[in-house]
Amino acid sequence: MIVQQLASTVWDANLYLKFADARMRPALDLMGRLDPANGRRPGHAIYDLGCGAGNISRVLAERFTESRVIGIDSSDEMLAKARMQTPDKRVTFAKGDLAAFKPEAPPSVLYSNAAYQWLPDHIDLFPGLMRRLPSGGQLAIQMPRNHDAPSHALMHKAAEAGPWRDKLAGIGGIARVHEPARYYDTLKPLSSELEVWETIYQQALTGKDPVAQYTASTGLRPFLEALDPSERTAFYETYARMTAEAYPTRADGITLFPFRRLFIVARRA
């Protein structure tokens, strides 16, 4: 089953959604810091940057009932799913690359959950995003910062542990997310209020190879995509064995997967 799912070389919307609950919590924690007044600016829109299947875009629309919500993503598969699952006409989706994002309507909020870590040099884009906001508007970004965890180190260890070694040499996975203070220093000159914080979530996963399945839809993808189907299966199984040892299943069937995330909420001066 997992091997069939991994055969997709595009964003696998189904695999990603399997963990929607565990991933929804940080999205809501970020949303909790948004100012309701930013949902009541006539002619403005709340943007969900890297919206994926639109799960969070729909929650933004429920919470900010007077605002348009526009989801942007580069994946046709994710956008198709988002459109199919979103009957609310206040929520629209458009294809776009976050590296070259230009809003079609003036933004009151630029919100992004778990997307900018895919862009190298994403920090250089953030001042430009701030400048697109009106005074009082908010930039709200959440990114995983878990690259020091065993789940990430084991990707590289598994990459070196088989005949696929040469094909996987040099694959970096997700771009490094910097120290929190670096984002603070970058955004402070443009902000009237600025919060930067980290939370480590003790994610409670269930099922077979839960940590490997979790990362298969995110950080492990560049490794899987570099291999042909038979090698992909063997590589995945090697990685799954390693993660099962590092993250043992508890007596109640739960596997705890500690996961660090960085949050940034900046209000435009």
**Residues near ligand SAM (CB under 6 A):** 11, 23, 27, 50-52, 55-56, 73-75, 78, 97-99, 113-115, 118-119, 218
The helix/strand/coil state of 113 is strand
Instruction: Give the residue with the Cβ less far from ligand SAM, 60 or 227.
Output: 60
* Beta bridge pairs of residue 199: 261
Nearest-CB residue for ligand SAM: 52
Instruction: Give the residue with the Cβ less far from ligand SAM, 108 or 117.
Output: 117
Instruction: Give the residue with the Cβ less far from ligand SAM, 78 or 168.
Output: 78
Backbone angles phi, psi at 128, to 5 degrees: -65, -35
With beta carbons less than 8 A apart as the criterion, state whether 127 and 107 touch.
Answer: no
DSSP code, position 69? E
Cα radius of gyration rounded to whole Å, the chain: 19
Cβ at position 217, least distance to ligand SAM in Å: 8
Query: Which secondary structure element, helix H or strand E, spans residue 46, and what is its range?
Result: strand 45-49
Instruction: Give the residue with the Cβ less far from ligand SAM, 67 or 215.
Output: 215
Cβ at position 53, least distance to ligand SAM in Å: 6
With beta carbons less than 8 A apart as the criterion, state whether 19 and 84 touch.
Answer: no
Cβ at position 61, least distance to ligand SAM in Å: 14
Instruction: Give the residue with the Cβ less far from ligand SAM, 19 or 247.
Output: 19
Q: Nearest to residue 141, comparing CAs of 259, 261, 61?
A: 261
Cβ at position 192, least distance to ligand SAM in Å: 26
Cβ at position 55, least distance to ligand SAM in Å: 5
Please state, in angstroms and rounded to a whole number, the distance separating the CA atoms of residues 37 and 244. 46
